[in-house]
Amino acid sequence: MTETAAGTDWQAWQDSWDRQQEWYMPDREERFRVMLDMVGALVGPEPRVLDLACGTGSITDRLLKRFPKAVSTGVDLDPALLTIAQGYFAGDERVTFVTADLKDPEWTRKLPYESYDAVLTATALHWLHLDPLAALYGRIGGLVRDGGVFMNADHMIDESTPRINAAERATRHAGMDAAKAAGTLDWAEWWALAAQDPDLAVPTAERFAIYGEHADGETPSAAWHASTLRASGFGEARTVWASPSDALVLAVK
């Protein structure tokens, strides 16, 4: 646990973020497990990783516990989540954080390395519309070394199955309602608490000035992601894990 002089418990904020995210994605740990399984299988146990739209560093945390000799660069624009990440990982020389806007064509210039073994992201890129997302995939294609990987675990909706989609949504929301009744914090409630913390109040206000309540992006199908990644310089791309609503797409350079 890392604490500031004011006594902020960054471990507690990291755990709280995980619980809030799990309310929306009860299978969150399973997708992380598969993601790291494939990192080990394809690029080995000492990878140089870019944690894309890293938030509090959820992927980096699991990466370093699984592969202690890995190094990670976390990149994000959210000042509040980066504050938690920097506090939580303070003193760990394996981790670097970069503040950058992924819609900026020059964001890769801020990174400490020119190439990575793996670029990993989860539940973040649905904040982008299709054209900026396709442009981002093109830049990622230039960052991943030959033989390296990119993985994106996110909401990926197949619009050709409306009855299945409706049934999945109803079942998922019933579970969310039960967890909410038991005291689980939702997105808005979590941010309301962050705004009251002395070390997070200012970066939380800055975060809402940047994003508003929630960005207006899109959730294309896994097939769209795979085909767009192949067009961005990856030799292979397909789904390697899926739930009824989400998928993990893996691309190999």
Predicted pLDDT at 214: 73
pLDDT digits (tens, 9 = 90+) for 80-121: 999 999 999 999 999 999 999 999 999 999 999 999 999 999
Residue numbers of the domain that contains 207: 10-252
pLDDT the model gives residue 80: 98
Q: What angle do CA 16, 21, 22 make, to 5 degrees?
A: 95
Alpha-carbon span 208 to 81, nearest angstrom: 12
Calpha distance 204→114 (Å, rounded): 31
Q: Is the predicted pLDDT of residue 2 greater than 50, yes or no?
A: no
CATH no. for residue 111? 3.40.50.150
* 30-67 pLDDT per residue, tens: 999 999 999 999 999 999 999 999 999 999 999 999 99
User: Residue 230 pLDDT > 60, yes or no?
Assistant: yes
For residue 4, pLDDT over 70 is answered with no
Q: Which pLDDT value is given to residue 213?
A: 77
pLDDT in tens, 12-21: 999 999 999 9
Least confident of 1-5, 22-26, 31-35, 47-51: 1-5
Query: Is 42 inside any structural domain?
Result: yes
Does 62 map to a domain? yes
- Asked whether residue 148 is domain-assigned, the answer is yes
What digits encode the pLDDT tens for the residues 178-199? 989 998 899 999 999 999 999 9
Give domain status of residue 104, yes or no. Answer: yes
Is position 4 within any domain?
no
Asked if residue 1 is part of any domain, the answer here is no
Q: Is residue 17 part of a domain?
A: yes
Average pLDDT, the chain: 94
Query: With contact defined as beta carbons under 8 Å apart, do 207 and 78 qualify?
Result: yes
Cα–Cα distance, 172 to 243 (Å, whole number): 11
Give domain status of residue 2, yes or no.
Answer: no
**pLDDT for residue 1 is more than 60:** no
Domain count, the chain: 1
Q: How many whole angstroms separate alpha carbon 234 and alpha carbon 55?
A: 26
